[in-house]
């Protein structure tokens, strides 16, 4: 079995890392590059930088933050938020990012996935999906604009299309669990993992080691992403990895 990845996410707003509950009530958590370095030293396999207000405010991702991260980080990092064209994706990768995450722009123009994959390869394209369970509990809908706008699209149909268009990974966030520390939505993650044959990154709800173990086993996730559980000292990535190894889940230990 391939090693499972632990990914630290930094939600960036106006150049600062922020965190809230269900995408609301945001509070300052620090400088993105300093936090990224800290997570890297603690054993994070990858870093994701998401400019959560770029799309909503109609601006581009802050490239200076990307350049700073590119100079300081020695693990893969993904950048998302406000990337609406091939030119913008190219600017982010040229600034130092290993991958780009597209969400709202890909929903509006699915050909963007194909364009980035053709230019940089599928391994550089992460399609971020913000999912919210329907009121009747039958499935999940895709939301856009940092989880503020319903699209009416079914999650499973969209991830299949994204994969066919060239997505190399799916970054799947449960809006219902985001920031709650109640655990990942393992049912949602498992359904998406079965639907596509590309890596699925689970996001939303991490609160303890047992939640990571659950999403790797029951959710079939290839990677798990968290933010506040790491930002506020509620858990150590190094300790988390040792606990996962004790449960038979393969991970790469930090040096």
Q: Tens digits of per-residue pLDDT, 23-77?
A: 455 556 678 899 899 899 989 999 999 887 655 554 456 788 899 999 999 999 9
Does a structural domain hold residue 120? Answer: yes
Quote the pLDDT of residue 26: 58
Is 251 domain-assigned?
A: no
Q: What is the mean pLDDT of residues 214-241?
A: 85
pLDDT in tens, 108-159: 999 999 999 999 999 999 999 999 999 998 899 999 887 788 999 999 999 9
Handedness of CA 47, 12, 68, 232 (dihedral sign): negative
Q: Look at residue 178 and tell me whether its pLDDT is greater than 80.
A: yes
Give the pLDDT score at 120: 98
pTM for the model: 0.91
pLDDT of 167 > 90? The answer is yes
Catalytic residue, chosen from 130, 141, 178, 222, is 130
Number of domains observed in the structure of the chain:
1
Residue 168 included in any domain: yes
**How far apart, in whole angstroms, are the C-alpha atoms of residue 204 and residue 202?**
7
Answer for the pair 42, 238: CB distance below 8 angstroms, yes or no: yes
The CATH number of the domain holding residue 189 is: 3.20.20.70
**Residue 11 a catalytic site member:** yes
pLDDT at 229 over 80: no
**25 in active site:** no
Domain-located, residue 213 = yes
* Active-site option among 11, 13, 98, 185: 11
253 lies in a domain? no
In a domain, 114, yes or no: yes
Domain contains 105: yes
Question: What domain range includes position 185?
Answer: 5-246
């Amino acid at each position: 079995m391939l090693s499972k990845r632990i990914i630290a996410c930094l939600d960036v707003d106006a150049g600062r890392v922020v965190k809230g509950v269900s995408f609301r009530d945001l509070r300052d958590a620090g400088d993105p590059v300093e936090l990224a370095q800290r997570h890297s030293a603690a054993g994070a396999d990858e870093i994701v930088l998401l400019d959560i207000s770029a799309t909503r405010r109609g601006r581009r991702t802050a490239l200076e933050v990307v350049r700073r991260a590119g100079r300081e980080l020695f693990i893969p990092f993904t950048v998302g938020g406000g990337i609406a064209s091939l030119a913008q994706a190219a600017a982010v990768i040229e600034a130092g990012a290993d991958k780009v995450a597209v969400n709202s722009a890909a929903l509006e123009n699915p050909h963007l996935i194909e364009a980035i994959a053709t230019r940089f390869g599928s391994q550089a394209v992460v399609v971020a999906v913000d999912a919210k369970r329907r009121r009747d509990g039958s499935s999940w809908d895709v939301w856009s604009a940092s989880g503020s706008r319903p699209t009416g699209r079914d999650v499973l149909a969209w991830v299949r299309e994204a994969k066919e268009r060239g997505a190399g990974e799916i970054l799947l966030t449960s809006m219902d669990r985001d920031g709650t520390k109640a655990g990942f939505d393992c049912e949602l993650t498992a359904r998406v993992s079965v639907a596509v044959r590309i890596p699925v990154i689970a996001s939303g709800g991490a609160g303890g080691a047992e939640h990571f173990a659950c999403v790797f086993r029951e959710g079939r996730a290839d990677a798990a992403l968290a933010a506040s559980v790491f930002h506020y000292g509620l858990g150590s990535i190094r300790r988390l990895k040792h606990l996962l190894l004790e449960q038979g889940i393969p991970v790469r230990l930090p040096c």
